[in-house]
Amino acid sequence: MRESGILLPVSALPSRHGIGKMGKAAQNFVDFLAESGCHYWQVLPLSPTSYGDSPYQSCSVFAGNPYLIDFDTLAQQGLLCAADYDGIQWDTTPDAIDYALLYRQVMPVLRIAYANFSKKKSPEFRRFCKENKHWLDGYALFMSLKDAHDGKAWAEWEPALAMYEKSAVAEAKKTYAEDINFYRFVQFCFFTQWYALKNYANAKGIRIVGDIPIYAAYDSVEVWAEPKLFLLDKDKKPTVVAGCPPDPFAVTGQLWGNPIWNWEDMKKNGYQWWLDRLAFTLSMYDVVRIDHFRGFERYYAIPYGHETAEHGKWRKGPDYALWKAAKERFGKMNVIAEDLGNITPAVERLLKRTGFPGMKVMQFAFDSGSGNPYLPHAFRTPNCVCYTGTHDNHTLRGWVKANAPEHNAYAMQYLNVKKESRLPKAMLRAAWASIADLAITTMQDLLDAPPSARINTPSTLGGNWIYRTQESDYSQKLCKKLRKMNETYGRCNAAAAAKDAGEITGETTEKGETTHDEA
């Protein structure tokens, strides 16, 4: 079945509160997708952000981002009134997220909601806490302690707490009991709203593609409370950290700095922790994109303390053993493997063995002639996902501007266009025309947005993860254009489009029949 979708972070949705949220604007985007005949909404990780604002460097691999909680929904539940949040400055420009403002402003509003919530009895809250106890209690304690230490990393706390000594941790649980319950409440709000949004999307015929980062951040509850999961020394410092080796695009490599999983130790109990993580993530989404899939075959380990990634070495990962265990537990999994980067025959064998679809990114297609595997004619199987670009890429307009002239010339020849300015539209159509079972574009590329709309530039700090859209971006004209493209290339989610067109834009005749504008 040929399908299509749009990649858009929840954070980029229109909002008067500084960042996209899981409320009406999210539902409106689902309606836009359904009416345009798409099947999927792909999001970025929904984890809490911290230093650097990256959702791939979170303080928890399980928790949800409090910034995405919709205040209007809480107000409808009687937990807030408009005056609690509408008179606050949430941004400095409507075009960009200001994380510093959010850091100062969001939690005080949620504490007001918690104070009102505490006056009520909620069996749903108690059930949520019980069902998520395996990660929730540790996360809530971790965040309470971060607050008590002015946001400092756990490694800077007093030694007894930093080393997770039982007596110190037990005492902290008593001291910060009320704060711990507040953070439980915040997660209850997040997941209540998230599953309501997911149910809304599914009812409209839209499925959500989530994202599971391969690594955890060093300043995370997992490293603090479960150090045996990682390659750390006796002082809980990493022995090696994650990254990528040098290549023509990064001459000193990429130094991500994440601690690396202790795969050998995890193997002893059949990778139980990772299977539990997968179970949690698979329940959150309809499909899951596995970040840095090649890292499961071999991972690049850089000695801790090095300033570049030049002296790292490849080490053997869990390979198929992890995925064999996952298949035995879950059966068929709806997974997309991010098989980009240093892809060897061994990685290709792993991908083939799992049966997961890999990724084909159009922006990688035009730099090496007709043998490039990312060119649509070179796709060897429909079991793949064709992207115009990802969150780590330029917008298509930015890509054209940054390209070597000879690469643009080849792209123009391949796509049969006469002007560079027409390349973005031609690449979008080429992705939709490809044999890939699923074609996905970023919202920026659908809008033909300028280079400034790029979400992230890897290995840089500042100016990333701040992209926002406006309500005016989601026009009926754009919706009809996308629907026409879905119809043209056999990717139209006809049932969702017909149903939603009737609900959103249809006109009713005297006989009660619904008519629609021509797409």
Q: What is the largest CA-CA distance in the chain?
A: 77
| Residue 35 bears catalytic tag | no
User: Given 276, 319, 392, 437, which residue is catalytic?
Assistant: 392
453/394 Cα distance (integer angstroms): 8
Specify the length of the chain in residues. 519
- DSSP string of 344-363, one letter each residue: -HHHHHHHHHHT--EEEEGG
DSSP label of 67: G
| Residue 518 bears catalytic tag | no
Tokens of 142: 């971790």
User: Given 35, 72, 84, 338, which residue is catalytic?
Assistant: 338
Tokens of 155: 């490694």
DSSP label of 48: P
| Residue 211 bears catalytic tag | no
Per the CB < 8 A criterion, the answer to whether 20 and 193 are in contact is no
- DSSP string of 194-242, one letter each residue: HHHHHHHHHHTT-EEEEEE-SS--SSSHHHHH-GGGB-B-TTS-BSEEE
User: Given 291, 367, 437, 473, which residue is catalytic?
Assistant: 291
DSSP H or E run through 283: helix 272-284
State residue 143 phi and psi, 5-degree precision.
-70, -35
- DSSP string of 424-489, one letter each residue: HHHHHHHHHHSS-SEEEEEHHHHTT--GGG----TT--SS-S-B---GGGS-HHHHHHHHHHHHHT
Among 79, 177, 82, 80, smallest CA distance to 122 is for: 79
66/357 Cα distance (integer angstroms): 32
Which are the catalytic amino acids?
Answer: 291, 338, 392
